Structure 1
Amino acid sequence: MAGDTWGRLAADGKLSPDLRSLRVEDTTYVNHAGIRVQVFPDQYVAYTEVDLQIESSSARESVANMLFEIPSGSVASSLTLWIDGQERPARFALRGKASQAFNTIVNKKRDPALIEWIDDRHLRLQVFPVSHVLPRRVKVGYVTPLDSQELELEYRSPTISGIRQDTASAFVTVEVFSDQQPQALTSNLDFKPLGVTAGAAKPFEAQTSLTKPWSVKFAARGEKPIHEPSTWSPESIVFVPRGGRPEARWNDAKKALQSAFPNATIGAFGDRLNWLTSSKDLTRSVEDGRTMRGLPLPFYQREMPNPSTTLYVVENDRAPNILTLRGTDYFRSMSNFFVNHGEGLRILGLDDAMSPFYSGLSELDLATVLSFDGKRLLQVPSLISSVRGEKMATEFVDRLVAYKQSMRHAILDEVRGDGTPDSLTEEMRKGHLVTPFSSLIVLETEGDYSRFGINDKDSEKNNTRPADPSLRESLGLVPEPHEYLLLAICLAAIAYMYRRRSGAVLG
């Protein structure tokens, strides 16, 4: 396992086969795109809808395959497909059942759409059929916890691959919902405020290429998440060098932590655990760590110290998101470790940024991330803990919490093998969530749903925005982008008729 790095896992075909096998189809392409973002700065959360018009240059009917890359911690909760000019909402189904239904219906030349979880940052969308005489329109919605830095929130755009989009433009609308007056947006796009406001929303719009990454920053509301002092003190401190930082950085960290915790035993993981009794021991561990580059904590080692008394000091390595590794020996070792140790890890980052692997452990309550001010340890709040379920974004927050529970279960169930509990399935169904265990699917007829036992028609109503009355009222008053144009035309016509009538009276 020592040489089982991410690069080798990928080369051996053990890492994200869905990502490796996805290739760009030359015949299918995105013609138009609309991206609508609803931001709730008071709750640190956003909801995004991506509306795509998909076309093909081929007469042959084919499946449009797309990979969505979205911010870590986001969860898809909406899918609609237009069939015969009507918008059809998706239904919730367990993953295996949804996949079987899609593949069977495609073989029968019917109209399905399916969105599946690939890993914490990727979703796969499939739509059938697409041809030059049959363009398709599909819409995907997902919820995102907003990253906060010094009370500044940032929203990052989704990216799409697997389908041509080089000529596609995207019309972007951002609506900010807040009890307070929203401030101007900061973005690499030229957002223009719209003159129409409704309820608590303030809309902005911009136009860009679908392939161009963009982000929006704005002031957060409420109090800054506080790094609370930790009352816990380590009995042992273990460094995990992986070749990304020079030995001097580790030596500086060793001196500072030894000064703050003089009774703690100091060790380091190279290819194995070494308790440091001299400066040469750290040098050897740092050198050994270079051969392990990309491989984080060695959960497969029996000598892993007790996490309840150990502080692990890590660097921002190249390790990917945790659930990308499902099915590997490393993932099973990690799952076994957390099943056997009820108390999670305590991690101190050598760098300001934390890798997706370690931040993922924190978000799933499998690890506590700490910072160090030179004298004491401070507890860093996780991203999901910063999200607050208040007022109009309550259901969005509930979906993020349910998604977090499903991710945690995916890790622990690798060893326990006790299946998905009914309570978790119900939470996923209620939130209409795309997870490792569940998908969203659109089928053409009620008979198709019945054939595969996807009879939960009630889940269709969860395929939309939250049901909070205050939010529904506000959203209902915010026009779609094309409705703004229609509204402007109507106002111009009314003004023209008024001037004409006034002129006739005065004449």
Structure 2
Amino acid sequence: MENNHFNPLKDFTSMCGLIFVACSSLFFFIAEWHIIPIQNNFGWFCMNYIFTGLYFLVMMIDNFKKHGRSLLKIRQEYVLLFLILGLFSAFALNRDINVFNKSEYWLEWYLSISTLSVLLYCFRQYLPDWLQYPVYFILGAGLLMYLYFSVYLLPLYLVGLVAFFVLGLSLHIFMPLGFLIQVIILARKSFLNQKVHFYSLLAGFVFPLLFGIYFIGNFVQIQQKIAVFKPQNAENFTAASGVIIPESRNLLPEWIQIAQQLPDNWLTEKVLKTDLVYMGGENIWGRQNFNLNFGEVRKHDPLLLLATVLSPKDALSLSEKTKILATVYDARHKTQERLWSGKDLITSNILTQVEIFPTYRLAYTEKTLQIENTYKNGWQQEAIYTFFLPEGGVVTLLSLWINGKEEKAMLTTKAKADTAYKTIVGVESRDPSVIHWQEGNTVSVRVFPCTPQEKRKFKIGITSPLRKKKNQLVYENIYFQGPDASSASDSAFVYFKEGSKNLILPEGFEKQKEKYFSAGKFRPYWEIYAEATALSDKSFSFGGKSYHIKDYKPDYQHVETEAIYLDINAAWTEAELEKVWEVGNNKSLYVFDEKIIKLTETNRKEIFNKLYNSKFSLFPFYEISEPDKALVISKSSGISPQSDDLKGSLFAERLYEFLPKHQPIRLFNLGNELSPYLKTLKELRVFQYEATDILTLAERLKTGKFIRNPENEQVVFLESANVLLSEIPATLTDNKNVLDHLLRLFAYNDVLKKIGKNYFTDNFVTDSLIAEAEKAYVVTPVSSLLVLETQQDYERFDIKKSKDSLQNASINSSGAVPEPHEWALIVITVLVMSYYVYRQNFSK
């Protein structure tokens, strides 16, 4: 029987252990949660290690007094308290000597609750019976975890024994083994003394074991679904797997076919992230080969690690996993190529300045972002941002603060900018910043180096149309992905030009004279509404050309539609398909399912049900036999590969060969969103686009009247703003002081229009396109903005400042820069937010 006379609250050694555990846990969580600034993780580890060492001495002295040199008579409560202290010390040391990657949240809770149950076990005689059962249950669950960690650390035991003389640091690896032995001992005691407690412990061990088996089974099922797409496994496919295998597998890359059919759930995402974010079986004992180009903190998840060990070999390469994650799980930003890590960077301050011009139906936004490297003893790092622009918007400014001074960017070709940046960052490690155009109305910004000693600051300017929604104009704040901004201080100034009516601003904005001001915690996205006003009749003149804006009024033409092609995927509803069938049943309706198939009353249900299973679709426009008499009806959930992802495939070759030979195809979109694939084709004017509903579609088909393409060599159409921008020869009456943003918007959209179907060839970059982008100083597929440290750097890469261009845009109207008292408000806001910033500010 157990000794019921032992009272840990009256025992000196136990009380020392409890006090040390309380102090050690306090120091551990201060450092772990970054409650105060952390300059040196090792210093905080030393505090945990000192408490562990002190208690070891107290325990050994007590045992020597009572039992001499016999270590077998040390009370189990003392040993458990020592192991708890050792566990805190081990995980504190792990911050600097990385044996485990950052634990998943569930594992952190599992460890914490298991450790608490060990502590409560030391007081089991004073716990009510109803509480003892869950304590033993959790001890059993903890036993399984200790077993896992003991096996995981097995190859390091010899090293731990050999190197223990180095202040005993290597002995930390034996802590899980110590817990394992002690819980087995107490399990044996409970079996001999109180079997009901043993059964509770056994249930606690079995429950997570069964869950783990269930988890691994589901993991293996997903791996099997992936494997059947591989050519070497195709012959082993059976209908029981439930996966659609195309007969012709050579049109698209295998990873795209897999991405279309994989289950859309959290487990699939974790399967894809093994070896990218989560350590897999091949990395189980420290042979970590993580991909630097996936921008997410590396994590340790025992369930995933065991699943990869016990499941068949992964059928996907790291490259294929990365592409699927970018396509399906909104991880494209995280998959960008990196030259340096950025894991310890945060965005600490954001200043937004907006000029809104209702009579020109456009806005100019400047965002100034401050970057901090929170690992105070770490290396320099690279900050990468993705900015999401409104449709038709363009980057017109980039500047970087170097040695405390703002340095404006120069516009150059994308190839030169890329070469200069990679040479300086990858080889010479000096100051550059670059911004590149990306598909899907996005741009990427890179800033280097971001060091612990200096906060980096850069500014980006965007000219964008105001979206017209009935009789309202909508300004969309420019949002971004990049270094964590959740605790950043955020200030915004909004200036309305030429007056505005019926304003609706987000909560927190206050009017100050002729502007609106907001300050507080970071808000990723917000909108401003204003009543649509009459457009200005003034033109902007530059370089012998004049740029004018006017309302768009659709012009109709008669088009005979003989064939309708349905681009079906999971975004469609059954009701929509039925209505489209009713509307178009007097035409020939087709779908693509490995080949073009004509829909009939007998086959349509089966085909619809099959195509529903695809998360996204990539419609092969090259399969349309008579494009001028065809109509494509599409709907998208907003996910798909980008055009760049298709390069090199047979699908891409056929598409790129087909597009230049035909006029824009008519495409009706039944939703409010386009997939990245279709969005890029729309930007490049590959089709005559219309977002509509089924009633409008029925009217178009009935009358044969379809909207005529309003664009030509002198005109671009900004659909979201419902305006036309035209370029004509300048006259003496044109005003050079009118907004230069008219030229910038025209040039950007005109460059995209001229690139058009040639984007998919290797020779779309021409001198005339570069000259047009340079004239307006806009970032396009052929041009980028680049900041280098010295003039000699520009000369070395043959980058010259253009004399006949607009240069970088700016907030140039009077009063558009914050006044002194407004800067004071910003400073106060930063100080108020500092507590929240510091909590995140020193994460490693």
Alignment TM-score, normalising by the size of structure 1: 0.80
Could you tell me how far apart the structure 2 residues matched to 1:359 and 1:285 are? 26
Mapping for residues 193-232 of structure 1, pairs under 5 Å: 193-195=511-513, 197=514, 203-222=515-534, 225-232=552-559
Please state if 1:30 is matched with 2:347: yes
Indicate how the Cα distance of structure 1 residues 483 and 379 shifts in structure 2: closer, same or farther if over 3 A, else same: farther
Could you tell me how far apart the structure 1 residues matched to 2:803 and 2:667 are? 43
1:98 alignment partner, SS class: helix
Give 1:441 deviation, angstroms. Answer: 0.8
Give the aligned partner of residue 839 of structure 2. none
Please state if 1:11 is matched with 2:321: yes
Could you tell me how far apart the structure 1 residues matched to 2:356 and 2:803 are? 27
Give the aligned partner of residue 336 of structure 1. 657
Give the aligned partner of residue 506 of structure 2. 188
- Greater relative contact order (Cα < 8 A, sep 6+): 1
Q: Which moved more, 1:16-25 or 1:361-370?
A: 16-25
Indicate how the Cα distance of structure 1 residues 109 and 322 shifts in structure 2: closer, same or farther if over 3 A, else same: closer
Indicate how the Cα distance of structure 1 residues 269 and 105 shifts in structure 2: closer, same or farther if over 3 A, else same: closer
Indicate how the Cα distance of structure 1 residues 457 and 225 shifts in structure 2: closer, same or farther if over 3 A, else same: closer
Could you tell me how far apart the structure 1 residues matched to 2:809 and 2:621 are? 41
Give 1:334 deviation, angstroms. Answer: 3.0
- 1:278-311 CA distance string (max 9 Å, x none): 31232233133224441131235xx423211111
**Where in structure 1 are there 5+ consecutive unaligned residues?**
198-202, 466-471, 489-507
Give 1:356 deviation, angstroms. Answer: 5.2
More helix by share: 2
Give the aligned partner of residue 441 of structure 2. 121
1:43 alignment partner, SS class: coil
Give 1:164 deviation, angstroms. Answer: 2.6
Give the aligned partner of residue 306 of structure 1. 626
- 1:1-50 CA distance string (max 9 Å, x none): 36734836963638689634359834322222110111122222211111
The residue identity in structure 2 corresponding to 1:221 is T
Please state if 1:21 is matched with 2:335: yes
Could you tell me how far apart the structure 2 residues matched to 1:401 and 1:460 are? 14
Mapping for residues 318-467 of structure 1, pairs under 5 Å: 318-320=638-640, 323=643, 325=645, 327=647, 329=649, 330-341=651-662, 343-351=663-671, 354-355=674-675, 357-358=677-678, 360-370=680-690, 371=692, 372-373=695-696, 374-376=698-700, 377-379=705-707, 383=719, 386-389=722-725, 394-408=739-753, 412-456=757-801, 458=803, 462-465=807-810
Pick from 98, 110, 125: which aligns with 2:417?
Answer: 98
Give 1:385 deviation, angstroms. Answer: 7.1
The residue identity in structure 2 corresponding to 1:447 is Q
The residue identity in structure 1 corresponding to 2:788 is L
Could you tell me how far apart the structure 2 residues matched to 1:241 and 1:486 are? 53
Mapping for residues 63-74 of structure 1, pairs under 5 Å: 63-74=382-393
Pick from 163, 174, 177: which aligns with 2:497?
Answer: 177
1:447 alignment partner, SS class: helix
Give the aligned partner of residue 604 of structure 2. 282
Could you tell me how far apart the structure 2 residues matched to 1:64 and 1:240 are? 39
Give the aligned partner of residue 476 of structure 1. 813
Give 1:129 deviation, angstroms. Answer: 2.4
Give the aligned partner of residue 505 of structure 1. none
1:428 alignment partner, SS class: helix
Q: Check the 8 A contact 1:243/1:286 in 2, yes or no.
A: no
Give the aligned partner of residue 567 of structure 2. 240
Could you tell me how far apart the structure 1 residues matched to 2:802 and 2:612 are? 54
Q: Which moved more, 1:242-251 or 1:406-415?
A: 406-415
Q: Check the 8 A contact 1:80/1:138 in 2, yes or no.
A: yes
Give the aligned partner of residue 469 of structure 1. none
- 1:241-271 CA distance string (max 9 Å, x none): 223324442232232234xxx5x43333333
Q: Which moved more, 1:454-463 or 1:286-295?
A: 454-463
**Structure whose CA Rg is larger:** 2
Pick from 363, 372, 395: which aligns with 1:46?
Answer: 363
Could you tell me how far apart the structure 2 residues matched to 1:410 and 1:436 are? 9
Give 1:449 deviation, angstroms. Answer: 0.6
Indicate how the Cα distance of structure 1 residues 432 and 89 shifts in structure 2: closer, same or farther if over 3 A, else same: same
Indicate how the Cα distance of structure 1 residues 413 and 111 shifts in structure 2: closer, same or farther if over 3 A, else same: same
Q: Check the 8 A contact 1:362/1:382 in 2, yes or no.
A: no
Indicate how the Cα distance of structure 1 residues 331 and 171 shifts in structure 2: closer, same or farther if over 3 A, else same: farther
Identical amino acids, percent of aligned pairs:
22
Give 1:448 deviation, angstroms. Answer: 0.9
Q: Check the 8 A contact 1:43/1:393 in 2, yes or no.
A: no
Indicate how the Cα distance of structure 1 residues 222 and 378 shifts in structure 2: closer, same or farther if over 3 A, else same: farther
* Equivalent residue pairs, number: 464
1:42 alignment partner, SS class: coil
Q: Check the 8 A contact 1:62/1:129 in 2, yes or no.
A: yes
1:204 alignment partner, SS class: strand
Mapping for residues 141-160 of structure 1, pairs under 5 Å: 141-160=461-480
Give 1:154 deviation, angstroms. Answer: 1.8
Pick from 131, 134, 138: which aligns with 2:454?
Answer: 134
Give the aligned partner of residue 581 of structure 2. 254
Q: Check the 8 A contact 2:350/2:489 in 1, yes or no.
A: yes
The residue identity in structure 2 corresponding to 1:76 is V
Indicate how the Cα distance of structure 1 residues 457 and 417 shifts in structure 2: closer, same or farther if over 3 A, else same: closer
Give 1:218 deviation, angstroms. Answer: 1.7
Could you tell me how far apart the structure 1 residues matched to 2:638 and 2:823 are? 50
The residue identity in structure 2 corresponding to 1:240 is D
Q: Check the 8 A contact 1:154/1:217 in 2, yes or no.
A: yes
Indicate how the Cα distance of structure 1 residues 319 and 255 shifts in structure 2: closer, same or farther if over 3 A, else same: same
Q: CA RMSD in A?
A: 3.3
More strand by share: 1
Q: Check the 8 A contact 2:751/2:780 in 1, yes or no.
A: yes
Give 1:214 deviation, angstroms. Answer: 1.4
Alignment TM-score, normalising by the size of structure 2: 0.50
Q: Check the 8 A contact 2:776/2:805 in 1, yes or no.
A: no
1:103 alignment partner, SS class: helix
Could you tell me how far apart the structure 1 residues matched to 2:604 and 2:583 are? 15
2:603 alignment partner, SS class: helix
Indicate how the Cα distance of structure 1 residues 293 and 37 shifts in structure 2: closer, same or farther if over 3 A, else same: same
Indicate how the Cα distance of structure 1 residues 230 and 204 shifts in structure 2: closer, same or farther if over 3 A, else same: farther
Could you tell me how far apart the structure 2 residues matched to 1:21 and 1:293 are? 20
Could you tell me how far apart the structure 2 residues matched to 1:337 and 1:43 are? 38
